[in-house]
Structure 1
Amino acid sequence: MAWTSILAIYFLFWVITAFLMLPFGVKTAEEAGEETIPGQAESAPVNFRPRKIVIRATVISAILTSLYVLNFEYGWIGIEALDFLPEPPSKLGSKD
């Protein structure tokens, strides 16, 4: 696998991981017991920490990309492992 492909796969995993992690650990002003500023949305986070999200997304994406590349190289799980594939044509008409 080319390094550019690995980089693209890592980027995709990173973006998905970062967006999935956004709602975790965030509190609203009401949950944190703080006053809201006039005009502030009630759902606005009080303790948003983007550095923490970036670090976690980087580590998780590195692990997921490594597993993906290793699976690509060694073929642990392939398309034949999926159950929803139709039967081969030779077995469709046979009666047992």
Structure 2
Amino acid sequence: MSLAFGIAIYFVIWWIMLFAVLPFGVRTSEEAGEASNAGFAESAPHKPKLLPKILATTILSGIVFAGIYAMMVHHVITLDDIPFFPRYEPVQEAH
């Protein structure tokens, strides 16, 4: 796996994990027992606590990326293991 490919995979995993983590612990102003500010949607989070969510996303993404990296490097799952992919014969080089 090249460095650029690894960074791209980590970036995609990070964004997916961010959207999975964002809803945790979200409360609206009404649920927090405070008045909603004018100009904001009533469903807007009261205190979104983004820094802990970003840190959690980074840690979880690192764990998921490590698993995917290990599977790719150690060939745990190959393209031949995926049932709906076509089977190709190895190419013989002419000498």
User: Separation in 2 of the partners of 1:66 and 1:59?
Assistant: 11
Identity fraction in percent: 34
Tell me whether 1:74 sits opposite 2:74 in the alignment. Answer: yes
User: Separation in 1 of the partners of 2:5 and 2:41?
Assistant: 41
| Residue of structure 1 in register with 2:51 after alignment | 51
SS in 2 for 1:39: coil
| Residue of structure 2 in register with 1:6 after alignment | 6
Letter in 2 for 1:10: Y
Structure with the larger helix share? 1
SS in 2 for 1:42: coil
Structure 1, unaligned runs of 5 or more: 89-96
The aligned runs of 1:30-49 (5 Å cut-off) are 30-49=30-49
Give the structure-1-normalised TM-score.
0.78
User: Separation in 2 of the partners of 1:39 and 1:74?
Assistant: 53
Letter in 2 for 1:6: G
User: Separation in 1 of the partners of 2:57 and 2:39?
Assistant: 32
In the comparison of the two structures, how many residue pairs are matched? 87
SS in 2 for 1:46: coil
Question: Which structure is richer in relative contact order (CA contacts within 8 A, separation 6 or more)?
Answer: 1
Letter in 1 for 2:21: M
Q: CA deviation at 1:16?
A: 1.0
Structure 2, unaligned runs of 5 or more: 88-95
